A and B are shown apart, each in its own frame.
Chain A
Amino acid sequence: ILNVEQSPQSLHVQEGDSTNFTCSFPSSNFYALHWYRWETAKSPEALFVMTLNGDEKKKGRISATLNTKEGYSYLYIKGSQPEDSATYLCAPSFDYKLSFGAGTTVTVRA
């Protein structure tokens, strides 16, 4: 089982503030990096799938960057809203298998 680290484990952010968090993974045999958002009592939903070093993707107020050479990805939330409260999972793909991190749980306070 590959070591995928997400930090911090949890964070609280005031509504309107921006935040970011990290996913670290081994850089060898890398295929792709997935980000998922998992809201309470719902299914995880894909945010981004990134494959190339230097990739940047954006969906609304959420964006992500990828550095495959050093093995990390950042996820940014701009102007956090209460509906952004969720656990964000990263999952690098190695040898056609996804290895999930434990997630960063974001709580947005109104």
Chain B
Amino acid sequence: DGGITQSPKYLFRKEGQNVTLSCEQNLNHDAMYWYRQDPGQGLRLIYYSQIVNDFQKGDIAEGYSVSREKKESFPLTVTSAQKNPTAFYLCASGEQGYASGELFFGEGSRLTVL
């Protein structure tokens, strides 16, 4: 089946540790995105990548890092510099550009910092 796979679904982390969330897609999409959801708020864009080996900061990139070495993969690292990392993280992919292409989402990863 074509789609987006995020792992792990649930993750617990101690303060001061880095953690990497995986996102893999087999839809042959050029663009991939990471969003964060907090209660009562809309999805906020962390990082996005329109093509392999290129990515841009979104609205809340501080404390996060990404890589895009392969078209299929866009892992997100939550670093110890992220002040409030407990959240729900969604990965998405789509055709390059937002004007006509819908986004396809994974099922999300919930990170809890203990």
Contacts and interface: CB of A to CB of B under 8 A. Distances in A.
Contacts of B44: 1, 100
B41 interface: yes
Contacts, number: 62
A41 B10 CA distance: 13
A73 interface: no
Given A100-B42, A102-B41, A46 B99 contact: no
A32 B100 CA distance: 7
A49 B35 contact: no
Interface stretch (B12-20, B62-70, B78-86, B101-109): B101-109
A31 B108 contact: no
Interface residues of A, number: 25
B100 A43 contact: no
Contact of B98 (A36, A42, A93): A93
Nearest to B59: A1
A44 B33 CA distance: 14
Nearest to B31: A96
Contacts of A36: 103, 105
23 contacts: A4-B42, A32-B99, A32-B100, A36-B103, A41-B107, A43-B107, A44-B103, A51-B100, A91-B43, A93-B98, A93-B99, A96-B97, A96-B98, A96-B99, A97-B48, A97-B58, A97-B98, A99-B42, A99-B45, A100-B42, A100-B43, A102-B42, A103-B42
